[in-house]
Amino acid sequence: MNREERNEELFSRTNGAPRQVKPLRKLKRVDDHRPTEPVYHGLHEAPSIDIRIEGEEPPRPQIREQQYHGLHEKGRERYVESADYDDDLDDFDDEPKKKKSKKDALIKLTSILLSIAAIIALFLNMPILWYKKSGQPDERVSIMTYFKRWQPTVDIEGELEKPQMDLNVDTDIVKEDFTDGLDLPQLVEGQYTVLFLGFDEDVENTDVIWICQFDIGGGKLNILQVPRDCAVPNYTSNETTKINSVYSCGDPQISKIQRVVNCVQENFGIPIDAYITTACFDIVDIVDLIGGIPIHLDNEIIYEADKRIPAGDVVLDGNQAEWFVRFRHEWLQGDIGRVQNQRRFMRAAMKKLLDIVKNEGKMKLYSYLNTIYKNKWIATNMSVEDLSKLADFGSTLQMENVKVDMVPGEDAEYIAYNGQVYSIYSIHKRATIDKLNENFRPYQRPMLLSDSNIVEYVSEYEYEYELYDDTGMTFEELETATEPMRNPEMRPAWKEYEE
């Protein structure tokens, strides 16, 4: 349509009346600084210019879909996508933002906890405490090292002195590079020996004496029972000469525990690394703590009229355990019968500890040890770490590798200087030395008769019997062992009326 035709059309729309034309307002060019893609206007078209009327508010920019312009279709798609994203921003991105927020919080919390743990570990391993031990120079150690070396009950009995005896280490076995793999403060590499003492009610006499030697290199445990009536006249001032009196009546120049340790080392040639002592009434608490000791009894045990343990399969509680290990009245062999019966208790107790490790884990066993330490139901010079290592080793032992034996000897009578006659246990020296060399000196050279301070009250040529010279049994064999022989004449008379 040309200009003339357009004017005629406009004239016809106004019915011939002249068209009112309003004066044009002054227009102002507006430069929009938004970066936009150029729009194609054809070959002869000028680019459009955004304009607004002066005095009016500029229009609010709106995102809108561009028209298709050929080559710019791809750009249009990107523009439309961004518009959709802005319109639906809350609905589209709300859940990812929440997930991201939780993840970030978890990462921050983990980082904080790791940092705190690192700071605590650094603090615990800083050498800030003084560690003092008798016979050793003071040194600065960390809190962790101090705890590992902690000896919570050593103040009860004290530390042990280094033995004056010649250890006679077998250098053909214990060479410079020899190690048993267990880092313990040992006198002889390869073995670790603990002296266990059980007191009577007055905590004066050691009625239970066990030498427990852990053969770490060989994966074994050998226990030597020392009868309480063993005569050791050179180590006690008590007129009975019995070894159970050494603790209270020994050399006054040294500690009580050292008296017993010296006596054992110098008579039996076994270097003692550590000790454990406990009283009969502490056994009650320890056994109750671990839930009792399962055991089979061939016959009823009557400790006193109102203190009985029924026959059959029973679980000894603390009180019953004390009655069991102290019972001796009816045994035909008296105290030797009690010693032999205590083996059955040892075997049952070790089986119980192995079951704890198997069913409840080592941490449960450690918690029991901690409770025993805290309540001071035992006294020992072993540190927390040493006792834990030894418990770990013990938990790996097989019953056939645990053997218990007794010092060879026989019953005898001893007439004191005041004319009083005492029943004692006279040690058979040669048989004892042979047994020690066979089972208790795996990393030492053989012991000679002259190396021992054993005193015999019955000479080798006057032995009445050798019944007790070979009493060794493994814990595996003890599983089917019966009780010692009973003396019918020692049966309580009132028992007849009950039946």
Domain spans of the chain, in order of start? 133-498
Instruction: Write out pLDDT tens, residues 424-466.
Output: 999 999 999 999 999 999 999 999 999 999 999 999 999 999 9
Long-range contacts of 246-255 (CB under 8 A, 24+ apart): 246/206, 247/197, 247/204, 247/205, 247/206, 248/204, 248/205, 254/161, 255/157, 255/158
Burial of 158 (C-beta count, 10 Å sphere; 0-12/13-18/19+): middle
Is pLDDT at 15 greater than 60 in this prediction? no
pLDDT greater than 80 at residue 59: no
Third-level CATH fold of 133-498: Aminopeptidase (3.40.630)
Residue 188 dihedral angles phi and psi, to the nearest 5°: -130, 120
* Angle between helix 335-360 and helix 318-326 axes, rounded to 10 deg: 150
Please state, for a pLDDT cut of 70, what percent of the chain lies above it. Answer: 72
Share of the chain above pLDDT 90, in %: 54
Pairwise pLDDT comparison (89 vs 281), residue with the higher score: 281
Res 127 pLDDT > 70: no
- Main-chain dihedrals φ then ψ at residue 128, nearest 5 degrees: -120, -5
Residue 107 has pLDDT above 70, yes or no: yes
Would you state the pLDDT for residue 77?
A: 46
Tens of pLDDT along 272-301?
999 999 998 999 999 999 999 999 999 999
C-alpha span between 443 and 171 (Å, rounded) = 8
Residue 80 has pLDDT above 50, yes or no: no
Per-residue confidence (pLDDT) for residue 498, from 0 to 100: 61
Higher pLDDT, 140 or 405: 405
Query: How far apart, in whole angstroms, are the C-alpha atoms of residue 101 and residue 109?
Result: 12
pLDDT of residue 115: 77
Chain-wide mean pLDDT for the chain? 82
* Confidence at residue 109, expressed as pLDDT on a 0 to 100 scale: 79
- CA–CA gap between residue 498 and residue 141 (Å, rounded): 66
pLDDT of residue 76: 46
Mean pLDDT value of segment 20-38: 53
pTM over 0.85: no
pLDDT-derived band at 305, boundaries 50, 70, 90: confident
* Band (408; pLDDT cuts 50, 70, 90): very high
User: Tokens at residue 473, please?
Assistant: 């049994």
